[in-house]
């Protein structure tokens, strides 16, 4: 994914505190380790996502990137932030094409009983993004074959509740 920075400044958004809290809870409960996983929320027509290699258990304001636009045809993201957005930006962006999804949590934990994508696709690829979009259907939690899971919700709190259940 190519990244074009519209501004290299820290993201300022009221949703950051809730995202930091969810990151701490994910780490405390063992759903994420080290820098594996990411969190995003829809913000109008934009998306706020954790930056690449962010420690979800200890997020600072500089660990967030605002994706103003993403073009899956050219695989180009236009962003505001000081770091590169998560490589899973294409998957998050495409999942937000569903009106009922406003928050996404991606962990590297597999959950028993959750539907699993049919094919293994490279992390951060458009192929993985389309496979996730195809599999999610009406589900709130799916496993990505050999790449963890994603939980979705109308709010970040709901996405976290999906994981906790």
CA angle, 42 as apex, 14 and 115 as ends, to 5°? 130
- Mean pLDDT over residues 33-51, rounded? 92
CA angle, 160 as apex, 53 and 92 as ends, to 5°? 50
Domain 2-164 has CATH 3.40.225.10: yes
Q: 3, 84 in Cβ contact below 8 A? A: yes
Q: What sections of 40-155 are H helices per DSSP?
A: 89-95, 126-136
For the cut 90, the answer to whether the pLDDT of residue 32 exceeds it is: no
- Mean pLDDT over residues 83-112, rounded? 95
Can you give 23-57 as a three-state secondary structure string? Answer: HHHHHHCCCCCCCCCEEEEEECCEEEEEECCCCHH
For the cut 80, the answer to whether the pLDDT of residue 41 exceeds it is: yes
For the cut 80, the answer to whether the pLDDT of residue 33 exceeds it is: no
For the entire predicted model, the pTM comes to 0.95
- Residue 79 is predicted with a pLDDT of 98
- Residue 108 is predicted with a pLDDT of 86
How confident is the prediction for the chain on average, in pLDDT? Answer: 94
For the cut 90, the answer to whether the pLDDT of residue 36 exceeds it is: no
Categorize the per-residue pLDDT at 53 as very low, low, confident or very high, splitting at 50, 70 and 90: very high
Count Cα neighbours of 66 within 13 Å in the Cβ-side half-sphere: 19
Distance in angstroms (rounded) separating the CA atoms of residues 157 and 126 = 27
For the cut 90, the answer to whether the pLDDT of residue 35 exceeds it is: no
For the cut 80, the answer to whether the pLDDT of residue 120 exceeds it is: yes
- Mean pLDDT over residues 56-83, rounded? 96
Could you tell me which residue, 125 or 36, shows the higher pLDDT? 125
Beta-bridge partners for 134? none
């Amino acid at each position: 994914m190519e990244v074009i920075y519209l501004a290299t400044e820290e993201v300022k958004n009221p949703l950051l505190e809730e995202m930091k809290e969810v990151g701490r809870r994910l780490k405390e409960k063992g759903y994420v380790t080290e820098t594996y996983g990411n969190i995003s929320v829809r913000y109008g027509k934009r998306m706020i996502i954790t930056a690449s290699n962010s420690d979800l258990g200890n997020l600072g304001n500089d660990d967030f990137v605002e994706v103003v636009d993403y073009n899956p045809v050219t695989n180009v993201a236009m962003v505001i932030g000081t770091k590169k957005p998560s490589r899973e930006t294409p998957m998050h962006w495409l999942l937000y094409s569903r009106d009922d999804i406003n928050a996404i949590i991606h962990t590297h934990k597999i959950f028993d009983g959750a539907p699993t994508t049919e094919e293994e696709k490279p992390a951060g690829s458009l192929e993985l993004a389309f496979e996730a979009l195809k599999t999610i259907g009406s589900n709130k939690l799916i496993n990505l074959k050999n790449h963890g899971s994603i939980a979705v919700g109308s709010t970040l709190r709901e996405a976290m509740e999906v994981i906790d259940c």
